[in-house]
Chains A and B, each alone.
Chain A
Amino acid sequence: MPWTKIILDKSAALSKLTEGGLRAATYCEALCEAQAQLLETDDAVFLLGEGLDEPGGVFGSIAGLSERFGNRRVLDSPLAENGMTGIAVGAAMVGMRPIFIHMRMDFLPMCMDQIVNHAAKWNYMTGGRTNVPLVIRSIIGRGWGSAAQHSQGLHGFFAQVPGLKVVLPSTPYDAKGLLIAAVRDGNPVMFIEHRWLYANTGFVPAEMYEVPLGQGVVRRKGRDITVVALSHMVWAAIRAAEILATEGIDVEVIDPRTVRPLDAGLICESVARTGRLVIADVASPSGGCSAEIAACVAESEAVRTLKAPLRRVGFAETPTPCSPVLEAAFYPDHTHIADAVRACMQA
């Protein structure tokens, strides 16, 4: 199925898609197209964020939208994250569908009050009378000494909060389909991208379509072990699986796509079959989404089938360092996933 498949090599992906008569696009183009179509088809949608008027704004993911839709639909905002979040929430409460965009996820802690105490609560506090159809796009950065304040994966914070939905698209197909679903969902949705996915290529239909929130996907079928991977780590997991296949280890790769609500059924069903589990996240493991995934397996019958202790792969338990040497020690890649898988297989 082209819409779930990840082909690591860009030119291989392109020729495979052309062969099948399928349209290829990058993650970045997919995001841009989704927003263009949302703006076209729904007058309630508008974009808000810092630097939206800049040429090549938001790493190209809104390219041309400001010129095309004008400054009533694409609003360049002052540097005022918490206030602007509240303003977006307020517009959403009376029926608009704002997409508030942040170049780095690290700026979201400034918006915490409006997201956590307000956006996530209105529907409940009003007994369902006022909902908040707000999407907050943000991007996890990485590399070139981005350091402690420009490369965090904070999805775990948000996944803790009832009332929020938290999405981490890993493919171009999902970037478009999840964004459209998020905007139409009617709830505050944290839409979390990864900078290192922007150039990745895959199948993206031209028309509008939705990928349902809360539904994971099996990226690769396998018998021996389940690897649950998030965001950029999905690609690392596929790479690890290809290497491990040559060693006779058949890896199943699951991409939850949404961490709140989490598709626990899909994960537990897979683990019940394979009896082994590795979780790979774009964040430090402790107290985050990988802990939640482990807990949902531990709470299910699947836990009885585990033949080895599960393992987690994630950032080091430190802030992100600047020095390239330390950066290399901080980030996991496919080799760490492969090592974790081998360790599980031997246990």
Chain B
Amino acid sequence: MYAIAPATQLELFWMMLFIRRFEEKICEVYGAQDMKTPVHLCIGQEAIAAGVCAHLDRADHLTTTHRGHGHCLAKGMDPYRLYAEFYGRTEGCCHGKGGSMHPADPELGISGTSAIVGGGIPTAVGAALASFLRREKRVSVVFFGDGASEEGVFHESLNFAALKKLPVVFVCENNFYATGSPLSSRQPHPEIWRHAAGYGIPGLAADGNDVLAVYASAAGAVARARAGEGPTLLEYTTYRWKGHVGPDCDCARGVRPLAELEAWQERCPVAGFLKKLLEAGLVTQAQYDARLAEMDARLDADLAKAKAAPYPEPHALHADVYHQRS
């Protein structure tokens, strides 16, 4: 078994907790109706972002989706710039132009986020192509949902990445739903990782609610990409706790069975791992409480600052339609 250093295990845990709290703060404020952006929360899926991104360097490329807050945080984005963006403020990561669905931070390798399902998969391969052409060691990681694996671009991208042995890691977050449609009504077999075989690249599945399993399985894929050996397709099974969009649960509307959600909540990636860490003595309850309080204080402050930050001037509407040649 792949041995994961205790310090790393703790880092993984704190990152998951940070993502969880970041999202929960949105749930707390969303009812005030002044965060006017459709939020697709990743509560329940935090282990994948934390476990994969732990292998990435600052320069590595990351491409995410409409459900991208966790990936951005795990790659190192400043929560303040995200909150400010969600509130439509100038200091937001896209100056209020993009909102929750389109976060960007090119300095962290997040060049732009598409909310068109599958839209980010080929651009991630393009970033990997750039690494290949420039003979750089920068890896490109792309997160996408089970739904996105139905799109033609997914297959076209796998083919080209495999053909050219590009340094890209395809990470499918299989939460078994695309909006309210279950995977079984959309795909003939439930194992997305098996598409890898058709393109002659490694594919594997792991428990996406077990951060150590994610970390261990992603290690090889990232190393392989960095070594110039080509792409890997990783599939992590998980479950989203909130509705497709917004802070409410969709079980009340009959979209998904409540029992199914409850079963997955039993397997909470954050609580489950905390229990293990406490049992193993890697963290004490007091340490946990202190760290949680620290995180909450920081996120509350970021949220309050974002809410108080200035709006763009209306004429900013016309800025940035085109890049200005210098």
Chain A residues within 8 Å of B, Cβ to Cβ: 50-51, 53-57, 76-83, 106-107, 110, 144-150, 316-319, 321-330
Contact = CB atoms under 8 A, between A and B. Distances in A.
Given A78-B150, A325-B312, A145 B38 contact: yes
Contacts of A145: 36-38, 88, 99-100
Contacts of B178: 50-51, 79
Given A145-B38, A147-B98, A80 B88 contact: no
B316 interface: yes
A83 B151 CA distance: 8
Nearest to B115: A149
A79 B148 contact: yes
Q: Among A55, A77, A326, which residue has the most Cβ atoms of chain B within 10 A?
A: A326
Q: Among A80, A81, A144, A145, which residue has the most Cβ atoms of chain B within 10 A?
A: A145
Given A55-B180, A79-B147, 13 more contacts: A54-B255, A55-B255, A76-B181, A78-B147, A79-B118, A106-B116, A145-B38, A146-B38, A147-B97, A147-B99, A149-B102, A321-B96, A324-B36
Contact of B37 (A76, A77, A79, A144): A144
B314 A318 contact: no
Given A147-B37, A149-B116, A55 B253 contact: yes
Given A54-B255, A322-B88, A323-B312, A148 B98 contact: yes
A76 to B, nearest CB: 5
B98 A53 contact: no
A146 to B, nearest CB: 7
Contact of A330 (B102, B116, B147, B317): B317
B96 A50 contact: no
| 5 nearest A-B residue pairs (beta carbon) | A323-B88, A322-B99, A323-B96, A145-B37, A54-B180
Contacts of B147: 78-79
A325 B179 contact: no
A318 B99 contact: no
Interface string B132-164: 000000000000000110111000000000000
Nearest to A83: B152
Interface in B76-97: 85, 88-89, 92, 94, 96-97
Contacts of B88: 145, 322-326
A153 B215 CA distance: 43
B143 to A, nearest CB: 16
B185 interface: yes
17 contacts: A110-B116, A145-B36, A145-B100, A146-B38, A147-B102, A150-B115, A316-B318, A321-B317, A322-B85, A322-B88, A322-B97, A322-B102, A323-B312, A325-B88, A326-B88, A328-B314, A330-B317
Contacts of A107: 116
B238 interface: no
B311 interface: yes
A325 B180 contact: no
A146 B245 CA distance: 12
Nearest to B117: A79
B187 interface: yes
Interface in B159-198: 178-181, 185-187
B114 interface: yes
A144 B116 contact: no
Contact of A80 (B36, B94, B116, B152): B152
B263 interface: no
B47 interface: no
Contacts of A79: 117-118, 147-148, 150-151, 178, 186
Nearest to B150: A78
A140 to B, nearest CB: 16
B3 interface: no
B81 to A, nearest CB: 14
B199 to A, nearest CB: 18
A41 B167 CA distance: 55
